[in-house]
Structure 1
Amino acid sequence: MTTEGRAHDMEMPAASKPRPTKFIVGGFIIVAVVVYLIVSSLGGSTAYYLTVAELRAKGPAAVGQKVRVSGVVDGATIQYDQQNLILRFDIVDNSGRLSVVYHGPRPDMFQDQAEAVVEGKLNADGVFEASNLLLKCPSKYEAAATATASPR
């Protein structure tokens, strides 16, 4: 054997060897950053989902908390100021009524008996200041199911 054949068998100097600890630390930092970004993005979008009764039961503790409340729109209470884009209405459920103020355009499907989900904060005066207003789409199958269920 020649010395040339043994040159490639020689170990690399310690300074040029890749160190696995660098990769482990780098991987850990990347995973930590990804986890932090996921947790921080979820934290801002979470809101508790309450019924009108649950919101009222919290009393003064509910004031100023970001929550979601679901109910049916009472058509007799709808007031819309088109100039200032202020929509006032009440939502009701089996347990109570909640007055809501929403600043923004009136949704197309907003009408009497529409199922609404409002997200926002309860003011000290008991009026719910909605930052988001979502309407549940009526199912095209509900009418067909009721029609087939009725006796002929």
Structure 2
Amino acid sequence: MKPRHKRIALILGGLAILGMVATLVLNAFQSNLVFFFSPTQVAAGEAPKGKSFRIGGMVREGSLQRQPDGISMRFVVTDTDQDMPVVYKGILPDLFREGKGVVAQGRIGDDGVFAATEVLAKHDENYMPPEAAKAVGDAHERAAANRAAAEAATRTIRP
């Protein structure tokens, strides 16, 4: 084999190995990628079906229920616009409270209930995950716009 052919074969071999490594890295990255959705986005059908994702918002007051087995919990995550029922089997974080921010990772079941595999709670009085804060802010803006539209519709000029 001529030196020129050896060089070309070496370059092609190196490119093939580089391509395989890039494919494996991208595949591993994509399988570990978890997106965040608000309850409003989930209700609108934007969340992936059958795939793991994160949902965040506030834990609705009065929604926390301990199940008979003692380690399963049911609660509702809300962005003040939409609610999402969540089921979690395990020990909740110490800072988990009703009315406080939460992010849960899991999947939506066929019954429409979010089955969480991990629950993360806020760590101080002023913290809320940025995605959850944005979702709550967006929901407040939509609610204010809806109230303004309703008030404008009810204001009619009467002779």
TM-score range, shorter-chain basis?
Answer: 0.5 to 0.7
The CA RMSD over aligned residues, in Å, is 3.1
Match of 1:90 among 57, 76, 80: 76
Displaced runs of 4 or more, over 6 A: 15-18
Q: How many residues are matched? A: 128
Higher strand fraction: Structure 1 or Structure 2? Answer: 1
Supply the AA of the counterpart residue of 2:87.
Answer: V
Gaps in structure 1 of 5+ consecutive residues: 1-13, 143-152
Cα deviation digits, residues 12-54 of structure 1 (max 9, x gap): xx67899212321231122112211211111212233221111
Shift of 1:100: 0.2
Could you tell me which residue of structure 2 aligns to residue 39 of structure 1? 26
Which has the greater radius of gyration?
Answer: 1
Equivalent position SS for 1:69: strand
Match of 1:117 in 2: 103
Q: Secondary structure at the match of 2:63?
A: strand
5+ long unaligned stretches in structure 2: 129-159
Identity of aligned residues (%): 26
Q: Which residue of 2 aligns with 1:69?
A: 55
Contact 1:85 1:106 in 2 (8 A): no
With the length of structure 2 as denominator, give the TM-score of the two structures: 0.65
Counterparts of 2:14 and 2:105, CA distance in 1: 39
Residue in 2 that maps onto 1:80: 66
